[in-house]
Protein backbone atom coordinates (compact mmCIF):
# COMPACT_ATOMS: atom_id res chain seq x y z
CA UNK A 1 0.00 0.00 0.00
CA UNK A 2 2.87 2.38 0.79
CA UNK A 3 4.44 1.74 -2.59
CA UNK A 4 1.13 2.38 -4.33
CA UNK A 5 0.75 5.71 -2.51
CA UNK A 6 4.27 6.72 -3.38
CA UNK A 7 3.71 5.83 -7.03
CA UNK A 8 0.56 7.93 -7.10
CA UNK A 9 2.50 10.91 -5.79
CA UNK A 10 1.36 11.12 -2.16
CA UNK A 11 4.14 13.27 -0.64
CA UNK A 12 3.89 12.03 2.98
CA UNK A 13 3.88 8.31 2.27
CA UNK A 14 7.49 7.93 3.43
CA UNK A 15 9.85 5.06 2.69
CA UNK A 16 8.55 1.51 2.52
CA UNK A 17 8.32 -0.31 5.84
CA UNK A 18 11.25 -2.63 5.13
CA UNK A 19 13.53 0.36 4.44
CA UNK A 20 12.71 1.94 7.84
CA UNK A 21 13.80 -1.02 9.92
CA UNK A 22 17.25 -1.45 11.36
CA UNK A 23 19.37 -4.18 9.82
CA UNK A 24 18.09 -7.71 10.17
CA UNK A 25 21.08 -8.75 12.28
CA UNK A 26 20.51 -5.93 14.80
CA UNK A 27 18.28 -5.81 17.87
CA UNK A 28 17.16 -2.67 19.73
CA UNK A 29 18.12 -2.83 23.41
CA UNK A 30 17.01 -0.62 26.28
CA UNK A 31 19.24 -0.65 29.37
CA UNK A 32 18.18 1.18 32.55
CA UNK A 33 20.50 1.74 35.48
CA UNK A 34 22.78 4.18 37.26
CA UNK A 35 25.88 5.82 35.82
CA UNK A 36 28.85 4.56 37.80
CA UNK A 37 31.50 6.60 36.01
CA UNK A 38 31.76 9.17 33.22
CA UNK A 39 34.93 10.04 31.36
CA UNK A 40 35.93 13.68 31.69
CA UNK A 41 35.36 14.45 28.00
CA UNK A 42 31.99 12.65 28.16
CA UNK A 43 32.73 10.12 25.44
CA UNK A 44 32.57 6.95 27.56
CA UNK A 45 30.52 6.01 30.62
CA UNK A 46 30.06 2.91 32.76
CA UNK A 47 26.44 1.93 33.39
CA UNK A 48 25.34 -0.42 36.18
CA UNK A 49 22.41 -2.17 34.51
CA UNK A 50 19.41 -2.79 36.79
CA UNK A 51 16.62 -3.36 34.27
CA UNK A 52 16.41 -4.12 30.55
CA UNK A 53 13.91 -4.86 27.87
CA UNK A 54 13.35 -8.46 26.79
CA UNK A 55 16.00 -8.37 24.08
CA UNK A 56 18.78 -7.24 26.42
CA UNK A 57 18.28 -9.69 29.30
CA UNK A 58 21.90 -10.83 29.14
CA UNK A 59 23.06 -7.38 30.33
CA UNK A 60 20.97 -7.39 33.53
CA UNK A 61 23.06 -7.05 36.68
CA UNK A 62 26.29 -6.21 34.80
CA UNK A 63 28.44 -3.14 34.31
CA UNK A 64 28.48 -2.02 30.67
CA UNK A 65 30.75 0.55 29.00
CA UNK A 66 28.65 2.88 26.86
CA UNK A 67 30.03 5.01 24.02
CA UNK A 68 28.13 8.33 24.20
CA UNK A 69 29.88 10.15 21.36
CA UNK A 70 27.00 9.87 18.85
CA UNK A 71 24.06 9.69 21.30
CA UNK A 72 21.10 12.04 21.54
CA UNK A 73 20.82 13.19 25.14
CA UNK A 74 17.67 14.11 27.05
CA UNK A 75 18.87 15.59 30.35
CA UNK A 76 18.39 18.94 32.14
CA UNK A 77 20.86 21.68 31.15
CA UNK A 78 23.07 21.71 34.24
CA UNK A 79 26.03 23.64 32.88
CA UNK A 80 23.90 26.52 31.54
CA UNK A 81 25.26 26.51 28.00
CA UNK A 82 21.75 26.45 26.49
CA UNK A 83 21.79 22.92 25.09
CA UNK A 84 21.48 19.35 26.32
CA UNK A 85 24.74 17.45 26.03
CA UNK A 86 26.69 14.60 27.55
CA UNK A 87 28.48 17.13 29.77
CA UNK A 88 25.20 17.52 31.71
CA UNK A 89 25.21 13.88 32.91
CA UNK A 90 26.35 13.15 36.47
CA UNK A 91 27.66 9.96 38.08
CA UNK A 92 24.97 8.28 40.17
CA UNK A 93 22.18 9.44 37.90
CA UNK A 94 19.52 6.95 36.77
CA UNK A 95 19.33 6.79 32.97
CA UNK A 96 17.92 4.71 30.14
CA UNK A 97 20.19 3.94 27.21
CA UNK A 98 18.87 2.84 23.82
CA UNK A 99 21.34 1.01 21.62
CA UNK A 100 21.49 -1.37 18.68
CA UNK A 101 23.36 -4.61 19.36
CA UNK A 102 24.12 -7.43 16.95
CA UNK A 103 21.57 -10.21 17.22
CA UNK A 104 23.90 -13.20 16.99
CA UNK A 105 26.68 -12.69 19.50
CA UNK A 106 28.90 -15.40 20.89
CA UNK A 107 29.74 -13.16 23.87
CA UNK A 108 28.57 -9.80 25.20
CA UNK A 109 30.28 -6.74 23.68
CA UNK A 110 32.67 -4.75 25.84
CA UNK A 111 31.39 -1.41 24.58
CA UNK A 112 27.92 -0.46 23.37
CA UNK A 113 27.32 2.56 21.12
CA UNK A 114 24.30 4.43 22.49
CA UNK A 115 21.73 6.00 20.18
CA UNK A 116 19.81 7.82 22.93
CA UNK A 117 20.31 8.58 26.62
CA UNK A 118 17.39 9.69 28.81
CA UNK A 119 17.89 10.90 32.40
CA UNK A 120 15.10 9.90 34.82
CA UNK A 121 15.74 11.50 38.21
CA UNK A 122 17.00 15.04 38.20
CA UNK A 123 17.20 15.81 41.91
CA UNK A 124 20.05 13.73 43.26
CA distance 89 to 71: 12
Instruction: Provide DSSP, 23-57.
Output: PTTEEEEEEEEEEEEE-TTSSEEEEEEEEE-GGGG
Determine which of 8-22, 47-61, 104-118 has the lowest per-residue pLDDT on average. 8-22
- 113 pLDDT tier (thresholds 50, 70, 90): very high
Sign of the four-CA dihedral 52, 58, 60, 62: negative
Q: Per-residue pLDDT averaged across 29-33, rounded?
A: 96
**Residue-range domain boundaries for the chain:** 27-119
Give domain 27-119's CATH architecture.
Answer: Beta Barrel (2.40)
pTM for the full model?
0.75
- 23 pLDDT tier (thresholds 50, 70, 90): low
Amino acid sequence: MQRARRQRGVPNAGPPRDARRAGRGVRACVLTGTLAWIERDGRLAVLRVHDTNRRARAFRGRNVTVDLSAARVSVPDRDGDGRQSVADLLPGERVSVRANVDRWLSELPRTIAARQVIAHDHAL
